Amino acid sequence: MRAGEGHGGCDLVPDNILIDGATTRVIDFDDCGWSWPGFEMATSLFPLQVSGGFDAGMEAYLEGYRQVRPFPQRDLEIFPDLLMARALSYLGGPVGRPEIASARSLIPMFACMVTEAARQYLES
């Protein structure tokens, strides 16, 4: 069985996907809720907002999701807000959780990512 390396607690990201042969399992839903597929999508796509490929990632995410069930229109309407909320949570996580003190060294990088996300949010 293999799991991604790195931080945990961000829901549907490679770090939280376990693969055993042909079996795939998703773990770690501390940020997830039954009515938050948009927040889950924001978690998966936030890195692409900064690194590139966001539009293609969102299109592929929605295409895959819609093969199983409709994606809630209300979540698409508030998606920019959910994306910004996800961005801000990256700053608060390492500060408020002593068990992940090693992530504190990443705060300057998160601050740059959140600053860029905020700029895009305010321009939209």
pLDDT at 8 over 60: no
Q: Is residue 82 part of a domain?
A: yes
pTM score, two decimals? 0.66
pLDDT tens per residue, range 67-80: 999 999 988 998 99
Domain range enclosing 77: 35-123
Cα 58 versus chain centre, distance: 12
Binned at pLDDT 50, 70 and 90, residue 5 comes out as very low
* Arithmetic mean of pLDDT over the chain: 79
Burial classification of residue 30, based on how many CB atoms lie within 10 Å of its CB (0-12 exposed, 13-18 middle, 19 or more buried): exposed
Counting the structural domains of the chain, the total is: 1
Residue 91 within a domain: yes
- Give the closest residue to 11 by CA, choosing from 71, 76, 72, 86: 86
| Domain-located, residue 62 | yes
* Residue 49, domain member (yes or no): yes
Report whether 42 contacts 85 (CB < 8 A). yes
Confidence at residue 1, expressed as pLDDT on a 0 to 100 scale:
29
pLDDT of amino acid 11: 62
Q: Which residue has the higher pLDDT, 6 or 37?
A: 37
74 part of a folded domain: yes
